[in-house]
């Protein structure tokens, strides 16, 4: 069976999560940072996660400490987060093309109407598997 990892895009207001394997994404979601440990516990139970992928951006070290304190046996891999937000925004618009008058505006000038931190986590997982 493929290894399932949990990629996390840590943030101050919300965190993006993505459970993924070499074959692709199993599930992705967004939750508040206060629910980090709870979401991690659920992923461990549901998918057998033994590796957590974190972006190297703001707050990464704080989240690493929090995860290590709660789950000392988990492996933590840190992945370069450079331009993941831009890539996630592009992916959001590919998966959710603008409708109505919004389709007349270039997507590069638009901000998605909903958070896409989970897509950042998906990209972190993809980078992790691509660099193995």
Q: What residue segments make up the domains of the chain, in order of their start? A: 5-130
Architecture of the CATH domain 5-130:
2-Layer Sandwich (3.30)
**pTM: predicted TM-score of the whole model, two decimal places:** 0.94
On the question of pLDDT at 22 being above 90, the answer is: yes
Residue partners of 2: CB distance under 8 A and separation at least 6:
21, 22, 23
pLDDT given at position 38: 97
Query: What SS3 class is residue 5?
Result: strand
Question: Bridge partners of 19?
Answer: 6, 27
Q: What phi and psi, each to the nearest 5 degrees, are found at residue 108?
A: -65, -20
The 3-state secondary structure of 15-37, one letter per residue: EEEEEEECCEEEEEEEECHHHHH
Which DSSP helix (H) or strand (E) runs through 132?
none
How far, rounded to the nearest angstrom, does the alpha carbon of residue 3 sit from its chain's CA centroid? 17
Determine the Cα–Cα distance for residues 67 and 82; give it in Å rounded to an integer.
22
The per-residue pLDDT for range 72-123, each reduced to its tens digit, is: 999 999 999 999 999 999 999 999 999 999 999 998 899 999 999 999 999 9
Determine the Cα–Cα distance for residues 21 and 100; give it in Å rounded to an integer.
36
The per-residue pLDDT for range 32-72, each reduced to its tens digit, is: 999 999 999 999 999 999 999 999 987 899 999 999 999 99
pLDDT band at 1 (very low <50, low <70, confident <90, very high): low
């Amino acid at each position: 069976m493929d290894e399932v990892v949990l990629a996390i895009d840590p943030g101050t207001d919300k965190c993006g999560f993505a459970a993924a394997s070499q074959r692709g994404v199993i599930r992705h979601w967004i939750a508040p940072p206060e629910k980090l440990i709870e979401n991690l516990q659920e992923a461990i139970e549901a998918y057998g996660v033994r590796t957590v992928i974190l972006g190297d951006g703001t707050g990464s070290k704080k989240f690493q400490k929090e995860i290590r304190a709660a789950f000392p046996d988990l492996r933590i891999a840190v992945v370069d987060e450079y331009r993941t937000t831009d890539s996630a925004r592009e992916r959001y618009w590919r998966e959710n093309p603008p409708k109505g008058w919004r389709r007349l505006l270039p997507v590069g000038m638009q901000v998605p109407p909903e958070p896409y931190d989970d897509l950042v986590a998906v990209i972190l997982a993809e980078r992790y598997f691509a660099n193995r």
